Chains A and B, each alone.
Chain A
Amino acid sequence: MIPIHWFLELAAVLFVIGSLGVILRRNALIMLMGVELQLNAANLTLVSFARAHHDAHAQAFAFIVIAVAAAEAAVGLAIVVGIFRNRRSVNVDELTIMKH
Chain B
Amino acid sequence: MSALGLLQAVGQPFAQPGHVTAQLTASDGMMWTGPVVWWWILAAFTVLGAVLTITRRNNIAAVMSLVATFFGIAAMYAMLQAQFLAALQVLVYAGAIMTLFVFVIMVLNRDEAEPWAWSGAGTKIIGVFALVYLITKVGYHLFAVAPLHPEAPPADFGTVAQMGEVLFTDYLFVFEAVSVLLIIAVVAAVVVARQRGAHADGEDAETDGQGTAPSSEGHHA
The residues of A with any CB-CB pair to B shorter than 8 Å are 1-10, 12-21, 23-27, 29-30, 32-34, 36-37, 40, 43-44, 47-48, 50-54, 56-57, 59-60, 62-64, 66-75, 77-82, 84-85, 90-91, 93
Contacts and interface: CB of A to CB of B under 8 A. Distances in A.
B interface: dominant SS: helix
Contact of A19 (B70, B76, B131, B167): B131
Given A2-B35, A21-B53, A81-B193, A59 B166 contact: yes
B65 to A, nearest CB: 9
A56 B158 contact: yes
13 contacts: A2-B14, A3-B22, A17-B47, A25-B115, A30-B62, A36-B66, A40-B69, A47-B77, A63-B88, A71-B186, A75-B188, A84-B108, A90-B113
**9 tightest A-B CB contacts, nearest first:** A21-B54, A71-B185, A78-B189, A78-B193, A26-B117, A78-B192, A51-B80, A17-B50, A74-B189
Contacts of A78: 188-190, 192-193
B170 to A, nearest CB: 7
Contact of B157 (A54, A67, A81): A54
A82 B192 contact: yes
Contact of B39 (A6, A8, A52): A6
B96 interface: yes
B32 to A, nearest CB: 12
B158 A37 contact: no
Contacts of B47: 10, 13-14, 17
Interface size band for B: 35 or more
B131 A23 contact: yes
A67 to B, nearest CB: 5
Given A12-B138, A53-B148, A77-B100, 13 more contacts: A5-B142, A12-B139, A13-B50, A14-B50, A14-B69, A17-B47, A29-B108, A33-B54, A37-B53, A52-B147, A60-B163, A74-B185, A81-B108
Nearest to A80: B104
B35 A73 contact: no
A68 B163 contact: no
Contacts of A14: 46-47, 50, 69, 73
